[in-house]
Amino acid sequence: MAVLVVDDQAAFRRAAADVVALTDGLEVVAEASRGEDAVIACARSPIGLVLMDVNMPGIGGLEAAQRIRGSDRAVVIALVSTYAADDLPDDVRASGFPYIQKAHLSPSALQQLLHGAPHR
């Protein structure tokens, strides 16, 4: 499955790429540092999973996720952030997108995400 990692912090993009590389069946095909670039990347090539940071400059992660979902209902989009789930804004919590706290990102978390188990 093709994975897009979206985060304005290069350190996290590298760490996320390492996690995806060690998760069976997943491969990072693209990275983006802004939500706008993520929307373009998803429009250009088929993406199966998007790891989307919530806090980014520009349109932000939630808005980018909603635009991508609007064009492709099949893509799995997980919101990520350093904040605890309880500290997330109301619109993020109510968005319906699964959320993974960055420090808990792991191959097992991604497998649970893809097999539909809730991970908040």
Partner 1 sequence: MRSPTSLLDTDRAHLRLYLVLNLTTVVGASIGLVVLRFTIVRSNWLLVDAAAVFAVAGALLVALHLLDNGRVGLVLTVLTFANWSVSVVTVLITPFILPTILLAVLLPLVATLPYLSRPRLLATAIGAIACSIVVAVVSRVHLVDGPEGIASPALRTGILVGSIPVVMTLIVLNVWRGHLGLIDRSNELRRSRARIAAAADETRRRLERDLHDGAQQRLSAVAIRLALARGQMDAQPAVAAALLAELDHELIEAIDDLRDLARGIYPPLLGQRGLGEALRAAARRGTSPVTVSCPGVGRYAPEIEAAVYFSCLEAVHNATKHANPSTIEVILRQGSRLEFSVVDDGIGFDPKTAQLGSGLMNVADRLGSIGGELTIRSAPGTGTHIGGAVAVTPLQSC
Q: Say how far apart CA 118 and CA 120 lie, in whole Å.
A: 6
The contact mask relative to partner 1 for 44-83 (x = CB under 8 A, - = no) is -----------x--------------------------x-
Polymer length of the chain: 120
Report the chain's C-alpha Rg in angstroms. 13
- Give dist(CA 89, CA 16) in Å, integer: 23
Cα torsion angle, 100, 102, 106, 65, sign = positive
Residue closer to partner 1 (CB basis): 94 or 103:
103
85 lies in the site for partner 1, by CB under 8 A: no
With CB under 8 A as the contact rule, which of the stretches 37-45, 62-70, 90-98, 105-113 interacts with partner 1? Answer: 105-113
- Name the site residues for partner 1 (rule: CB under 8 A): 9, 11-12, 14-16, 18-19, 22, 55, 82, 102-103, 105-107
